[in-house]
Structure 1
Amino acid sequence: MTQEIDSGGKQVIARAASVLKSLENQRQGLSLSQIAKASDLPRTTVHRIVAALEAQQMVITGSGGIRLGPALARLAASAHMDVVAIARPYVESLGRRTRETVDVSVYRGLHAVSVDQYPSDQELRVVSSVGTAFPIHSTAHGKALLTAFSEDAVRRLLTDPLESRTPLTLTTVDAVIKSVSEAQVRGWAVDEEEHAKGVCGIGVYLQSGLAEHYAISLAIPALRFYENRESLKAALLQCKAEIESVIGV
């Protein structure tokens, strides 16, 4: 009997998840029939699930149809903090191993915004305030975040000419797309004094399973970057793998 109840409970959750997934990115909302088609569920089943989800504010019904509700936004905000908390021990470990500054960033349109940092303990170091918004096209963490998007999406986001921070900044959309495409293939992005003279970076995209996009990066003085590039890259990739293993993606 218990096994049958567990199986039924899993089925209900799976169906509710299908309904919620069908509403992803549907800002205007969908009708019950459209949800039923997208989730491959009977319309009567969708009606019952939507009613239950609406009672919990996970979906709301408006003039355009049914769309995701405010309760999911609150859960997403909580999940955002959880990702930072989950990553923190591994970020600290990476910082201790490399003795370089580690940043955790989140995607915010044209910027990568720092949400956590473990600063280097060396006399010559690269440190910025948590909450700083960095240009997405000229930083390692920014380009790492862009690897999550298609070329078309990047072209819609960026506009020529791009802001130049140093003589090495990539100032055309084509050049940034080429750099991002290379990062997608090899699994890591690089900033070689593109954002600030004398400062380099390596960044990786963090698979979180959430709608938010995160990156982890190392900020390194150019004087140490080139001679330690391979070991820094390996340590960063290990950190990424450890965090993703805990998150379970």
Structure 2
Amino acid sequence: MSAAETGGAQVKSAVRTVELLEFFAGSPGMHTLAAVQEAVRYPKSSLYMLLRTLVELGWVETDATGTRYGIGVRALLVGTSYVEGDEVVAAARPALDRLSGDTAETVHLARLDGTDVVHLATRRSPHHLRPATRVGRRVPAHATALGKALLATYDDERVRRMLPRTLPALTERTITDREELIAELGAVRARGWAADREESTVGLRCFAVALPYRVPARDAVSCSVPAARLTPAHEQAVRDALLDARERLALATRRL
């Protein structure tokens, strides 16, 4: 085998490793070898050897029977180091704390990754009725206030290239038509904030603003409120608090 062929095989192996880890990251829980093979479509023998290697290195774990596989603790360590080392996350902490205190609602800092948003930091509401949340959660951008706030910083043609004509529905209220979404993004640009009307989770409303330290924006901050607790006065207070947080974050991130 030539050096070029060896290099190609090594690259292919690296790609498969990353794809396999991304499968586990996006599919929580434990999976049989057959289920993993059906998802990734690798030859079973190659997949088994790759899984054995990743188990030995701690990137993948097995259950007590050794026949089911899931994401390993090494992936957590890498993910944690990404968040802990991120300059925006560090700079945003005081503003997130202030926003959480001002609204008494759940607050998120998220980043656009392709056509999804990924939660980088969160502050949980003190109320018993509050949304489930975690750092690392990935949600389609078109169905969230965070995503709309970020997509609105792109021009319409770029959004058309990024998103398909028909968008997947997370709830009955999700906008599934790309042109309808683009029309809403125009409204987001005009008013300076985005809203999610139970489009990602039934019973949950969300409001968000993009951080202006980069254009198009990469990061956004949101406040999520159970619809049962959202009055017109509380909605206005949440939006005002978000706009204030955006100004504070603009100052905190101006040199990043």
Alignment of 1:8-19 (within 5 A): none
Residue in 1 aligned with 2:62?
none
Matching of residue 122 in structure 1 with residue 131 in structure 2 = no
Measure, in 2, the Cα distance between the counterparts of 1:79 and 1:98: 25
C-alpha distance in 2 between matches for 1:80 and 1:177? 34
Residue among 220, 243, 246 paired with 1:237: 243
Deviation at 1:79, TM superposition (A): 11
Is the Cα–Cα contact under 8 Å of residues 80 and 212 in structure 1 kept in the other structure?
no
Match status 1:214 vs 2:236? no
1:204 corresponding residue in structure 2: 209
Work out whether residues 201 and 219 of structure 1, in 8 Å CA contact, stay in contact via their aligned partners in 2.
yes
Asked if 1:142 corresponds to 2:147, the answer is yes
Mapping for residues 37-116 of structure 1, pairs under 5 Å = 81-116=86-121
Match of 1:155 in 2: 160
In structure 1, what residue type is equivalent to 2:236?
A: E
Q: 1:173: which partner in 2? A: 178
**In structure 1, what is the Cα distance between the partners aligned to 2:227 and 2:173?**
13
Secondary structure class of the residue paired with 1:166: coil
Note the alpha carbon deviations across 1:107-137, whole angstroms, 9 max, x for none.
1011010001011111101131100111100
Secondary structure of 1:90's aligned partner? helix
Structure 2: 5+ residue stretches without partners: 1-81
Q: Deviations over 1:84-119 (max 9, x none)?
A: 111111101110111101000001011010001011
Counterpart contact for 1:165–1:196, Cα < 8 Å: yes
Q: Is the 8 A contact 1:145 1:205 kept in 2?
A: yes
TM-score between the two structures when normalised by the length of structure 1 = 0.66
Moved more, 207-216 or 83-92: 207-216
Give the C-alpha shift of residue 224 in structure 1. 1.9
The offset of 1:210, in angstroms, is: 7.5
Paired residues, number:
173
**How far has the Cα of 1:208 moved from its partner?**
2.0
Q: Which residue of 2 aligns with 1:33?
A: none
> What amino acid sits opposite 1:84 in the alignment?
V
For residues 214-249 of structure 1, what are the alpha-carbon distances to aligned partners after superposition, in whole Å with 9 as ceiling and x for unaligned?
Answer: 000011101122431111000011011011023237
RMSD: 2.0
On the 8 A contact 1:83/1:208 being kept in 2, the answer is no
1:248 equivalenced with 2:254 (yes/no): yes
- Maintained 8 Å contact 1:101/1:126: yes
SS in 1 for 2:190: helix
TM-score (norm 2): 0.64
**Alpha-carbon deviations, 1:35-90, whole Å to 9, x = none?**
xxxxxxxxxxxxxxxxxxxxxxxxxxxxxxxxxxxxxxxxxx89971111111111
Native 8 Å contact 2:83 2:89 kept in 1? no
Note closer, same or farther for the CA distance 1:217–1:183 as it changes in structure 2 (3 Å cut): same
Confirm or deny: 8 A CA contact 1:115 1:131 kept in the other structure: yes
Q: Distance in 1 between matches of 2:229 and 2:135?
A: 23
Gaps of 5+ in 1: 1-76
Q: Is the 8 A contact 1:101 1:127 kept in 2?
A: no
